[in-house]
Amino acid sequence: MSQLTEEAVLDQLRNIIDPDLKKDIVTLEFIKDLKIEGGDVSFRIVLTTPACPVKDEFENQAKELVGSIEGVTAVNVTMDAEVPQGRGVANNVALPGVKNIIAVSSGKGGVGKSTVAVNLAVALSQNGASVGLMDADVYGPNVPMMFGVNEQPQVGPGNKLIPLEGHGVKLISMAFLVPPDKPMVLRGPMLHGVVRQFLSDVDWGELDYLIVDMPPGTGDVQLSLAQLVPVQGSVLVTTPQNVSLSDVTRAFKMFEQVAVPVLGVVENMSYFVPPDMPEKRYNIFGEGGGSDFAETHGIPFLGEVPLGMEVREGGDNGTPVVVSHPDSPQAAAFRSVAEAVAQQISIEAMKPELVIMSKA
C-alpha cells in the first residue's frame, strides 16, 4: 500500500474549482491545518465569505475526493470563512479593523434603498459576518427607526462614539445625534465633515463589512465617501420602471468617475403576489428593468425583491423582514442578494492576487 501524503490529498482537492474566482481551492490557499494521522485526514476549508452558496457542495466534494484516496479511512472537513481585506483605493487610508466598505446607493429616492441596506446588513450578520451600518442619508436618516433603536451613543476611549447595535449590526446615524423635530440643514463642507466623523470618530471595532446607506442622488456625500476611504464596491438599487432606471444610470456613471467598482444592481419592488392568490404575479412597476440595466452596463444582477406588506411592517416596527418574517419571499430574496454581494466583494478583494498569479 502506498504511503498517504499531504501532496496526494492536495492533488485531489485541486479538482474543486471556485465558480467565482475561477481557481482551484488549493491555489487559492483555502486549505488550512491539513493533518494526516494514520488513515484519518482532517483539514479546514476557509472560504472568503460566510455567505458562500457553494459551501455545502465544497464540503461534499472534498469528502468524496479525499475519501477515494487509497489508505484513507476517515475524512474530517471543517468549513470556515475569513472575509478578505479589500484592495483599497490609491490615496485613501483604510479604517482600522474594517475589511470592506460597501456603499448602497440609488439615483433617486423612493426605491427602497434604505430597506435594501438594512436587510442586506442583517442578512450578512445572520450568516456569521461582523457587520456595521453607517446611515449617511443625513437628510432622511431612517435606519434607526427601521432597527427599532433610538438611544444616544456613548463616548468611549479616545473620545470616539460607541455605535449602537440592533439585530447583530453596529449602527451610527445622524438621527441618534439630532432631535427628531430638528431639520437637517447642511451644506457641502458640513456634509463632508459628517461623513468624516462617522468614519474616523466612531469606534467600529473589527468588521467584515461596513454597509453605508447613501443619500439618493449623486451629490456631496457620495463624493466625500469616495475621497475619504477605500470603498470596496457599490450596490445600486432601482425599481423596474424607466424613470428609476434613468436615474440609477447617473449613479452608475458617478461611481465609474470616482473609480469605485459597481458590485451590481438590485431590483426592488419587482412584483407583487397577493397573499390570497399566490399563483398571481403583478408587475406593478414594469418588468425586467433591473436585469436589462445590468446586462447593458456589464455588471452583475444581484437579484429582485418582491413587494410585500411584511417589508413595510418590518420597517415601521423596527424589525427588518429577514428577522420578522424569515420564511417570506421577501426575506429569501434579501438573503439571496446578501450572498451575491458577498460573492462580488470576494471577487473584488481577490483580484490583485489573481492578476499576480496569472502573470507568474
Q: How far is CA 324 from CA 238, 331, 357, in A?
A: 24, 9, 45
Q: Which residue has the higher pLDDT, 88 or 355?
A: 88
**Cα 142 to chain centroid, rounded:** 19
Same domain, 352 and 206: yes
170 part of a folded domain: yes
* Residue 18 to residue 40: CA distance in whole angstroms: 25
Tens digits of residue pLDDT in 31-84? 999 999 999 999 999 998 887 778 899 999 999 999 999 999 999 999 998 888
Put residue 61 in one of left, alpha, beta given phi > 0 → left and psi -120 to 50 → alpha.
alpha
Give the CATH number of the domain where residue 41 resides. Answer: 3.30.300.130
344 part of a folded domain: yes
Same domain, 155 and 292: yes
Count of CB atoms within 10 A of residue 252's CB? 22
Same domain, 60 and 106: no
* Domain end point (choices 81, 116, 147): 81
Q: Is residue 34 classed exposed, middle or buried when 0-12, 13-18 and 19+ CB atoms within 10 A define those classes?
A: middle
116 part of a folded domain: yes
Give the CATH number of the domain where residue 223 resides. Answer: 3.40.50.300
Nearest to 23 by CA among 338, 346, 302: 346
Mean pLDDT of the chain: 83
Q: Where are the beta strands (DSSP E) in 137-229?
A: 154-155, 161-162, 164-166, 169-173, 209-213
Q: Between 289-297 and 242-257, two packed helices, what is the crossing angle to 10 degrees?
A: 30
Q: Which domain holds residue 291?
A: 101-357
Q: Which residue has the higher pLDDT, 151 or 324?
A: 324
38 part of a folded domain: yes
Nearest to 342 by CA among 127, 92, 78: 127
Indicate the number of domains in the chain: 2
- Reported as a pLDDT band with limits 50, 70 and 90, residue 311 is confident
Mean pLDDT of 302-313: 89
Count of CB atoms within 10 A of residue 358's CB? 9
* Domain end point (choices 33, 53, 81): 81
* Residue 157 to residue 119: CA distance in whole angstroms: 30
* Residue 314 to residue 325: CA distance in whole angstroms: 8
Same domain, 61 and 192: no
Mean pLDDT of 236-245: 79
Q: How far is CA 189 from CA 94, 126, 192, 196, 209, in A?
A: 22, 37, 5, 11, 27
Beta 31-37 vs 233-238: how paired, if at all? unpaired
Q: Which three cell numbers stand for residue 167?
A: 439585530
Q: Choose the weakest-confidence range: 5-9, 142-146, 182-186, 271-275.
A: 182-186
Tens digits of residue pLDDT in 105-156? 887 677 888 999 999 999 999 999 999 999 887 767 788 899 999 888 888 8
pLDDT of the residue at 179: 55
Q: Taking the model in full, what pTM does it have?
A: 0.82
90 part of a folded domain: no
59 part of a folded domain: yes
96 part of a folded domain: no
Mean pLDDT of 214-232: 68
Same domain, 120 and 62: no
Same domain, 72 and 116: no
